[in-house]
Structure 1
């Protein structure tokens, strides 16, 4: 029986010891500090001691003691104790909000060399051991850099080996008992357990680079080396001591469906000197920036991504919609603050349908009324709904039942669960992306993107696709519901396109003004032409009067020429040898009266006589020739 109890205790101790090597449950599980520090003779040294910032630990005693064969003699503590030997040379400072206290020892002596403990409490339950060396050299050797990170947190590591290693391979590896297992290097190699959680970036200075690690886990605690060249054969290394303590977990995985959307919430210190915030998509050899707070958006993500910054609570939210299969991967929230969190979120595309439904593209002619609709499910009944016009800098929501300066109105019909955005008259400047979305308790939720295309808004713009070629496109030149009713009644053929009707209207509106203008010009031309011909006739008569001789009128009676042919009862009387026409009216016994002619009548008669003489001469010409 005694043997069985001994075996059980031996196995339990071995198991506890083995567990402590992987996940230390002794002092190092709740406290962490450098394993060794070195200071120059007569110089000073500072030791940072990290502890778990629980309510008890924040107010408990902190101490620094030197080990001997029998005990650990206290040198300085947070209760005000200071060893006489270290008066004026040792100080302790506690920062309970950060879970950190520091020990500073000045005027170092050879006798200060030895093993020390950094602890919390009045016993040896919470402590870690530190070895102090005092060197007489002029330069202190570089020590392991200590990082104390909250679980699911992030860390930034800077490594600089000088310009001599500017083109050499850079890497990060984790120390084990016999070797250093690769985490990531500049040749594109990465440990599968760190995929999407670690990133290596070059700095401007040759031989200098940064390593970002995020979503850290308890099992990530340990000793790491960043280096250049090849470990164990060439190059240099720098030792890194990373400890991950328990804390609240943060969002690490989001899921989206094809054509749906996801939102990623990022955190930063609003009181810090943070000017740049951006989201990038992780890849083995870098991180491609998608959007930042200055409005820079990757071309292929226009209309698909937007950033909402909230400095009051130190968060910025990035929304990505119109999801595709190739959007799956790891996304990093980044800032330009060195001490800021760099967090990573994994996006997975799963089967399913978006909750927000609607037409994804609308084509409309300018001046037409329009109502864009977005339907939502019952689970979004109590959520805030909005429409917004996308810009690269923001997508400021138009909350339901509110109207903005442009005259756009957002209405929400809760009975049919439809959110609509109404336009009185669509203008060319309205072309672009519009988002329908929901919010809940200050957090942005699902969104749906719609592209509004205005015909003729820009030179070379695309024509509206037919309904047969694009099921997601709608054409709003006329009321689509009215057209559907006409088709159902047989009044209109389904193949008739409202686009053709709209084009005819546009063509008529252009041709009618042109036709009116053409008729006006033709009338003016005809009037001018008429005046010209009238003036030319008058000139011709005058020329005839000028060229005609008086002999032309001597034998006018031979040709039956009559003056005033419209007079009543005209009579001809021969007076001697002169042939003269005397026109009389009434009784023949009355004395004859000669009618006076005006210049116009004389000209007309001269012209008629000239024509008659010309015809008579032409007719008698052959007989005269024979005589």
Structure 2
């Protein structure tokens, strides 16, 4: 077995056993978010100064040079740029630098910093090999839809089934698989997504003529967040075509009510999509399904559908897309977590989460959870969105002020928190000055 491997190496990587390349490390995976950049530095030996430097991709078992420097001149720096790729050779420091900007999912693959003799007909040699994974990162709210397209080699892979799988400790677990007829799509028997059946919430479609697989996930829930692969259904394990890192945020409202009084809470939805769907109010407990308390009837006539049971009433304004829930004669034991939810075939999909607190002995006064638009906004705590999985791009923060500063005050934000532990160089520090205008005396923040 060892002899066979040694014999095959020169065929795949011509000249790999030459001096200076014997210690080539295995390809390391570099993961980057779509739209970000890849910066790769490849040092080389003094005797390799006169060789042409380039950037190559492994295609069909052979290295194909995508961009290569010109023959060395008198200058110590030799640089060439084409499209999104830049190759820079500094012969003084013996350093080859590759920069690829605006990465796309289809850029995923095996690449190398390459060396080649200036002699005609010479073949490129891999100096440093990487496996590049460019993933899509998508942020959505609950009940939103996400749709992605995955490209593949139309001729070679059109007959291979395609799968949509979710990454976990035991590998990538398939959730959806295309049928042999390619144009059809199906859910794998007994599969589940976020604790509910896949049937109406996820779809996979294969267009073999274009070489494109389209996956759509609808009515998202927070538990749908995770890492997914669009993949070829191989004999041993799925072969990744594209990776999606999905983040799903839930809308949460915190309510503090008083005993013996009434609570009224409103939840918003898109009437063009969800008007004909039954709305529900349920109580959630940790590790348990949300327990249904009350729901509207979709067959009820008119634009206002109302139901009541005991102390709880629910009304659905299907024209404006507002669900109003009332709970009267509140008691301390009513404290807990509730959902405004869609109810489809006895499956509850959360629209918004309401955390209710009713402290005992606090009688009198009116209790309310605010205006309908409150539930359409980001939660009450500061929300930081960051690129995951080793991405070194900028971080984004939503700032919330407890008190209004003076209009003359300036606020500064360091956009790279990782620099806090070391003394920043002048060119590293990035900041923003935020100007604030004085609000009218009657204005509300």
TM range (shorter): 0.3 to 0.5
User: What is the TM-score of this pair, normalised by structure 2?
Assistant: 0.32
Larger Rg: 1
More strand by share: 2
Normalised TM-score (structure 1): 0.25
